[in-house]
Amino acid sequence: MWCDPMKHVYINEIASHVGETILLRGWIYNLRSSGKIKFLIFRDGTGFLQCVAGKADVSGEDFELISTVAQESSVEITGKVREDKRAPGGFELVLSGVRLIAGSENYPITPKEHGSSFLLDIRHLWLRSRRQHVVMKVRHHAISAIRDFLNNRGFLCLDTPIFTPNVCEGTSTLFETDYFGDKAYLSQSGQLYNEATAAAFGRVYCFGPTFRAEKSKTRRHLTEFWMVEPEVAFATLEDIIDLAEEFFEYIVLRCVESCGQELSDVLERDISKLEAVKRPFVRLHYDDAVDLLKQKGVDFEWGNDFGGGDETILGEAFDKPLLVHHYPTRVKAFYMERDPEDPEYCLSVDMLAPEGYGEMIGGGQRIHDLDQLQKRIREHDLPEEAFRWYSDLRRYGSVPHSGFGLGLERTVSYICGLKHLREAIPFPRLLNRLSP
RNA sequence: UCCGGGGUAGUUGAGUGGCACAACACCACGCUGUUAACGUGGAUAUCGCAGGUUCGAAUCCUGCCCCCGGAGCCA
């Protein structure tokens, strides 16, 4: 082979190879040329690296190739690693050889600005760009932090079904599919099943895709998104708020640790705002949140749920996440436990991120009394037969239990400072968008 | 579903009744330290679609389609 016996290394390992001649495999990201010296920006999936080719350093044939190689052509390159302040990232490769693997013609994404519609149509290519690399890396580390946090605390990951036979909460619009002649719906939450596994295993979570057929056309909505839902047997509202705080702090700080530099350099994220995500967060009773909104001049009627604009105003009022608890019973799902002091309120909690990013977490304590649950099922006009297995959880050794759901894309979006959720998932599914 | 903005070259935009423009991308040439490099030249358009008004329509009128943002709903 052309490259033997040289060692193939990745760009993210380059710092430990200064002075060595190495082999890299990847794609041409950009080319700058200044007569007899060429600068090519090369990417291999682990990073971006500036490569320099002087006319004297490589063969005439290779120099010609470097001069004409198109953006996103795949190549194998060899060269010597050098530390140089003039290079972005501090390291560069002095090229000694280039081999074209496959060419590329008229790559549609240019170094200038593009519209979101155009970029989403070519999402499969857009993912190659620098900005998307950072966002996807943050997504990966957020997922990894979520799993580590829960796994290290004795939670079992027990995933819940995506095909479901009934309307789980009776609120959201669901996607309907044909299931061998019967109707099945794509899951909008794993929570009811989580309650079953929590009664079997104590501390559990599910982490998977969630589907909502709402015709929402806003920056805060996807029709398919990922949600992690921990559920804990014997936990009260207070316990689950503590858990949510610790969980969110851990995810944010882990992403800052692993991607802080890129967040700051490429996405221009203000890291100090993320570093402020430290416990204790701000906790407000629903009534106090309503008062705060009114103080801010919002015309808000007690008893309603907060709209997107209200969430933005509440979240922007503090420099750390805000936990609003004890929402009115009537705006929350049927399974929410009522406040024993005042049944107008329920034992629920939402966590709103700072900087107007809105709701990251929603959860609370579930009804554990059978009579109470059946009453609520009837009040909400839900089919009792379909909820029979769910009611069983209250027939056989029912215990207080609580849980919450955290939206992955909203969390990634907040950490990265994105303007729209669609950049926080590799292939977003939106109203009017099912491809690529 | 409702409200607002928009559709002009591959892309991003300018163009309010009289020869369709610019930048980037592409092609050619020049340049030995570039940082979304730069300079000179070239090629590139069914002005969303269908009607209408007019001597003349990207521009005015009617209908339709599509995109973007927001509301409702939600994580």
pLDDT digits (tens, 9 = 90+) for A320-333: 999 999 999 988 98
Q: What is chain A's alpha carbon radius of gyration, rounded to the nearest angstrom?
A: 26
A33 CA → B24 C1’, Å: 17
Q: Does A124-424 carry CATH code 3.30.930.10? A: yes
Q: Specify the DSSP class assigned to residue A305.
A: P
> Alpha carbon A33 to chain centroid distance?
38
Alpha-carbon distance of A32 to A150, in angstroms, equals 47
Q: Which pLDDT score is estimated for A170?
A: 52
What number of other Cβ atoms are within 10 A of residue A384's Cβ? 10
pLDDT-derived band at A5 (thresholds 50, 70, 90) equals low
Q: Which pLDDT score is estimated for A219?
A: 86
Smallest CA–C1' distance to B30, residue: A35
Q: Which single residue is written with the structure tokens 């069983």?
A: A392
Q: Which pLDDT score is estimated for A169?
A: 52
A67 CA → B43 C1’, Å: 21
Alpha-carbon distance of A403 to A365, in angstroms, equals 7
Question: What residues does each domain of chain A span?
Answer: 11-102, 124-424
Residue A172 has pLDDT above 50, yes or no: yes
Q: Which single residue is written with the structure tokens 């693997």?
A: A101
Q: Which pLDDT score is estimated for A382?
A: 83
Residue A3 has pLDDT above 70, yes or no: no
pLDDT-derived band at A217 (thresholds 50, 70, 90) equals confident
Which of A183-187, A244-248, A337-341, A368-372 bottoms out in mean pLDDT, i.e. has the lowest? A183-187
Three-state SS at A177: strand
Contact A160, A196 (CB under 8 A): no
E strands, A212-355, where? 224-233, 282-285, 322-325, 338-339, 342-346, 348-353
pLDDT-derived band at A43 (thresholds 50, 70, 90) equals very high
Q: What percent of chain A has pLDDT over 90?
A: 67
| Pick from A270, A263, A364, A359: nearest CA to A314 | A359
Token output for A380: 């909400």
Alpha-carbon distance of A203 to A233, in angstroms, equals 6
A432 CA → B15 C1’, Å: 31
A266 CA → B7 C1’, Å: 31
| Pick from A53, A125, A65, A129: nearest CA to A93 | A53
Task: Return the CATH fold of A11-102.
Answer: OB fold (Dihydrolipoamide Acetyltransferase, E2P) (2.40.50)
Q: Which single residue is written with the structure tokens 């436990």?
A: A337
A169 CA → B68 C1’, Å: 32
> Which positions on strand B lie below 7 Å from a protein C-beta?
1-2, 10-13, 23-28, 30-38, 66-75
pLDDT digits (tens, 9 = 90+) for A57-76: 888 888 888 888 889 999 99
pLDDT-derived band at A214 (thresholds 50, 70, 90) equals confident
pLDDT digits (tens, 9 = 90+) for A238-293: 999 999 999 999 999 999 999 999 999 899 899 999 999 999 999 999 999 999 99
Q: What is the arithmetic mean of pLDDT over A339-356?
A: 93
Alpha-carbon distance of A352 to A390, in angstroms, equals 29
- What is the nearest nucleotide to A71, using C1' and CA? B25
pLDDT digits (tens, 9 = 90+) for A111-168: 878 888 899 999 999 999 999 999 999 999 999 999 999 999 999 999 999 998 865 5
Phi-psi map region of A326: left, alpha, beta (phi>0 left; psi -120 to 50 alpha):
left
**Pairing verdict, β A322-325 and A282-285:** parallel
Residue A171 has pLDDT above 60, yes or no: no
E strands, A57-105, where? 74-83, 91-102
A112 CA → B6 C1’, Å: 21
Q: Which pLDDT score is estimated for A239?
A: 96
Alpha-carbon distance of A100 to A275, in angstroms, equals 44
Q: Which pLDDT score is estimated for A1?
A: 39
Alpha-carbon distance of A353 to A335, in angstroms, equals 25
**What separation in angstroms does the CA of A365 have from each of A152, A177, A239, A348?**
23, 31, 9, 6
